[in-house]
Structure 1
Amino acid sequence: MAAEDLKEKEPKGEKMDVDTPEKIPEKEKSPEEIAALVLSDIKQNFGFLEKAAINFEPRFSMRVLRGLGALRRRLTSDIIVRALEAAYTSMEHESAKLILKYLGKDVSFSTEADSPSLTVLPEIDIYVLLLVQVYLLDQGDAAKLDAFNDEVINVLRTYNRRTLDALAAKMWFYYAHSKELNHKLIEIRPLLLGVLRTATLRHDTETRAMIMTLLLRNYLNTQAISQAHQLVLKGDFPDTAATSVVARYLYYVGRINAIQLDYTAANESLIGAIRKAPQTTHAAGFLQSAQKLKVIIELLMGDIPERSLFREPMYKNALRPYMDLVQAVRIGDVPQFSETIAKYRDTFKKDGTYMLILRLRQNVIKTGIRMMSLSYAKISLRDICIRLHLDSEESAEYIVAKAIRDGVIEATIDHEKGFMQSKEILDIYSTQEPNVAFHERIKFCISLHNESVKAMRYPMNQHRVELKNVEEAREREKELATEIQEGDIEDDDGDFDGL
């Protein structure tokens, strides 16, 4: 009855009004508050670098570098000066005077006026110089950045500490980037080669991987393809390098292999580069460049890229010229192919794919011949010449003969009567093509498994915990055996107490 009475008293068709808190717009932070937060983050990074130096833990340095991208967008000259006050004991320190000179600041500070020592932890010293590097880069003054980098690198080369490897690699990256902006690629090549030798002797993995990547970019920008190929063959790129560096290295290797006509190796390298790159908008430029090159290489290999790739939001606009190119190659339309190249010539040259695209003309012609061999049982060489816009029937005969030799089509040529006779299409499963495709898929799966195993991470010192648990278990077994021998445990004791 009580439940029924409650139901009768409850108003029908009405719902309880619940007060929902209104969203209060966040108050915009003032420049002083933003500066305080940035300075707090920098000081926190100082603490991480101290831990990395004391405990010899590179993960703390990597954590600091991961936050560099978000930090550099909020840097100002005043914040850097306040960071100097937190990092250095006096402006008499060489790095502090160097930074103030290029910032154009005349500041005098001393946190410890009576301190005779001006020593600063090398990790903090290099980190502050790195912040100034990215600040000057964002200011757009290439000449000032170049002069500052020349002095900064001299400071860096005075240190030889493995806890500095990650910071040193990043500093070399911005150094080479500034030289590229100032068109001094050939001038820095001997220096980079010398640093590579030194890093190899010191077992500096991060710097060695970064310098090899920078050298490959240097060679490619100066069209020194043979030297880049020799570096890839004879250089030993470390497998334990940072994932972002490995992705860039694989991209450059793929570009070199494509120029060297090794399209299969180039395609594998680009697949690895795309998989290792961050799948976020922050890496959109790199992913777009890699996909552009991969599309051209797939076309050169005789494959047609998936249409879904060109529909993805990240690639839709960037790959639009390549979509038109793929359509022309797919149907074997030579006039459309020529029109597409003429229309997007500047875009292809800017992307660095123009010379590779020019190689596609033979593929377009082969595709056209294949389409005609599937459509006609017999077709004259004159008709082939007209449809493909070739110069003469002799050229058409030569191209058809080469397509037959390469296995593109199954046909014969009647030279006397001047026509191409297509053969009867065989069952594809009676050929070796399914075996080849199956082998490629197995090879890809095995490679994916091996790389996944290499990328696995385990908690630090976990084996010590397991050893401790094993020792405790052994001690319990010994105690249990001793109690059984002494008769403290009766035979009836066991798992039958509940019966």
Structure 2
Amino acid sequence: MSEVISKPELNNVDLEPLLIEEINNDFNLIEKSATNFDPRYILRVFRELGPLRRKLTSEALYKAIDAKYPNDHPNKAYLLDNVRYENGSMEIDEGDRDKDNDVEMQGDQEILPELDIFTHLLVQIYLHDQNDLKKLNQLNKKVVIALKSYNRRTLDFIASKVWFYIARTNELLNKLVPIRSELLLALRTATLRHDNETRASTITLLLRNYLLTNDISQASNLVEKTEFPTTVSNSLVARYYYYLARITAIQLNYSDAHEFAISAIRKSPQSKFSTGFLQSATKLNIVVELLMGDIPELSTFRDPLLEQSLVPYLAVTKAVRLGDLNLFSSTLDKYSATLKKDDNYNLVLRLRQNVIKTGIRILSLSYSKISLRDICIKLHLDSELSAEYIVAKAIRDGVLDAEINHEEGFMQSKELLDVYSTKEPQEIYDARIKFCMSLHNDSVKAMRYPMNNNRINLKNDLESKEREQDLLNYLQDGSDFDFI
């Protein structure tokens, strides 16, 4: 047993220098991005942050911070305190320190703001993964102070990630309301500084905060009074569209909610780590489609990534499609815990009227004439009066093409009309045209053009302008045309 336990420890010791080297490489890329004003290096660091996060240890992070920060830096002490060894205070021998890290880093080297905030981000991620929320909450207060002291555009991408972990910490500690003032202040500052990445991040965090506390009116006001930047990463855009879909669905605006949910699914990153978000967006889209009176395609439920999680929604879809009120009630009782966990239970409750409407529509197609009493019995309604009210509302909403004989108490279906004599084909064709146009516009925006050709043309234009200016100056100076 002792040999089995000591083996992983040996592997961790062997991998520690490689992990420290990887952290130092990220530090160098951050510094290169800050000096060259090129955000591509920061984006490269964030692409590799996931694998680094899964193997991050307190020992490697401690040594990397201790080697990079000067001893007199004011942030070094509390950063090291948050990543100390679990067995107490950590002491590193000076010989090992000089061996593993560059000695000149301990000198008078100045720490760039980008590097300082990125180091805070690494400590935030480590404490979050260790579930040490108390330390993380104390660190977040100092991170906010550090963010307010800097004003550099090369910090935008790092600051957006930092604010995410600040909001996530307060969410886990159930302190949703106190963080709103800081998020609103950060949103105002980012808007004034034209910091699109932080602005998009704080808007999505505020919308999530309002939805978790059921403050739908405040979330709607935020959407109306702010403009979400479209030039940010797809993950932020997808999250924003998802929250818009949930807000509009709660406000009974199902057509807009359906469009937002589809946009969130399309903008979702194509990786295995975004499966959870894709499941949540697909679940919401299925419920919204059912509330609109449509039935989702069967291929949606056969996706290998979504099949297992969509089992309750497939059962609800079957109940709505069959118009069986008893089946719908039993399905709701069976999967109520799952629907409440997905925050879709209240939306699914609204489908009861859709189930009844579907049942009435099936009856109208099966019977040209049926009494209200038979409708009440077949749909398991309370009384004939409620059946008459539901049928009348279905006729008014355009679900049925029938009429009610109130004196004799029956429903008479009209003859089926040709669908091409209605506006339905035109509406479907218009929706497809809009989708194709939006896809074309997004493709044009996503295109990248080679820089060399533009630079050559720009250089030629500058040279031609200089020649023209020289010619004009020469002509103004004298009448000799030897220059030509």
Aligned position for 1:77 = 58
**1:266·1:297 contact (CA, 8 Å) conserved in 2?**
yes
Gaps of 5+ in 2: 1-8, 98-102, 465-484
**1:100·1:107 contact (CA, 8 Å) conserved in 2?**
no
Aligned position for 2:80 = 100
2:408 equivalent to 1:417: yes
2:49 equivalent to 1:58: no
**2:67·2:106 contact (CA, 8 Å) conserved in 1?**
no
Stretch of structure 1 that moved more, 270-279 or 453-462:
453-462
Distance 1:242 1:383, change over 3 A: same
Deviation string, structure 1 residues 433-483 (Cα, Å, up to 9, x no partner)? 10111111111111111122122223445410344578999xxxxxxxxxx
**2:61·2:83 contact (CA, 8 Å) conserved in 1?**
no
Aligned position for 1:212 = 203
2:290 to 288, 293, 299: 299
Aligned-partner Cα distance in 2 for 1:471–1:127:
40
Aligned position for 1:152 = 143
3-state SS in 2 of match to 1:186: coil
Deviation string, structure 1 residues 27-85 (Cα, Å, up to 9, x no partner)? x9932342222222222212221221111111211111121111111111110022113
Distance 1:289 1:50, change over 3 A: same
Aligned position for 1:267 = 258
The percent of aligned pairs where both chains have the same amino acid is: 57
Aligned position for 2:233 = 242
CA displacement at 1:107 relative to structure 2: 4.5
**1:304·1:326 contact (CA, 8 Å) conserved in 2?**
yes
Mapping of residues 128-167 of structure 1, within 5 Å: 128-167=119-158
Distance 1:29 1:434, change over 3 A: farther
Mapping of residues 192-207 of structure 1, within 5 Å: 192-207=183-198
3-state SS in 2 of match to 1:413: strand
Distance 1:107 1:157, change over 3 A: farther
| TM-score, normalised via structure 2 length | 0.88
3-state SS in 2 of match to 1:30: helix
Stretch of structure 1 that moved more, 442-451 or 212-221:
442-451
Aligned position for 1:89 = 70
Distance 1:389 1:113, change over 3 A: closer
2:455 to 453, 464, 470: 464
**2:361·2:400 contact (CA, 8 Å) conserved in 1?**
yes
Aligned-partner Cα distance in 2 for 1:233–1:355:
24
Aligned position for 2:6 = none
**1:89·1:112 contact (CA, 8 Å) conserved in 2?**
no
Aligned-partner Cα distance in 2 for 1:254–1:431:
29
Gaps of 5+ in 1: 1-27, 474-499
Deviation string, structure 1 residues 92-151 (Cα, Å, up to 9, x no partner)? 322221111222344477945994x46201111111111111001111111121111112
Aligned-partner Cα distance in 2 for 1:265–1:297:
10
Stretch of structure 1 that moved more, 211-220 or 150-159:
150-159
**1:95·1:129 contact (CA, 8 Å) conserved in 2?**
no
Aligned-partner Cα distance in 1 for 2:140–2:453:
42
Aligned position for 1:183 = 174
Stretch of structure 1 that moved more, 48-57 or 253-262:
48-57
Distance 1:55 1:287, change over 3 A: same
Aligned-partner Cα distance in 2 for 1:197–1:308:
44
**1:88·1:96 contact (CA, 8 Å) conserved in 2?**
yes
CA displacement at 1:152 relative to structure 2: 1.9
**1:130·1:171 contact (CA, 8 Å) conserved in 2?**
yes
Aligned-partner Cα distance in 2 for 1:113–1:358:
62
Q: Aligned partner of 1:84: which letter? A: I
2:269 equivalent to 1:289: no
**1:205·1:238 contact (CA, 8 Å) conserved in 2?**
yes
3-state SS in 2 of match to 1:408: coil
What is the number of residues matched between the two proteins?
445
Q: Aligned partner of 1:39: which letter? A: I
RMSD over equivalenced CA pairs, Å: 2.1
Deviation string, structure 1 residues 238-281 (Cα, Å, up to 9, x no partner)? 11111111111111111001001111111111111111111222
**2:242·2:260 contact (CA, 8 Å) conserved in 1?**
yes
**1:43·1:86 contact (CA, 8 Å) conserved in 2?**
no
Q: Which has the larger radius of gyration?
A: 1
Aligned-partner Cα distance in 1 for 2:323–2:170:
44
2:359 equivalent to 1:379: no
Aligned position for 1:341 = 332
From the two aligned structures, give the one with the greater helix fraction: 2
Aligned-partner Cα distance in 1 for 2:105–2:365:
88
2:43 equivalent to 1:43: no
Deviation string, structure 1 residues 370-391 (Cα, Å, up to 9, x no partner)? 0001111111100000111111
**1:255·1:293 contact (CA, 8 Å) conserved in 2?**
yes
**2:291·2:354 contact (CA, 8 Å) conserved in 1?**
yes
3-state SS in 2 of match to 1:379: strand
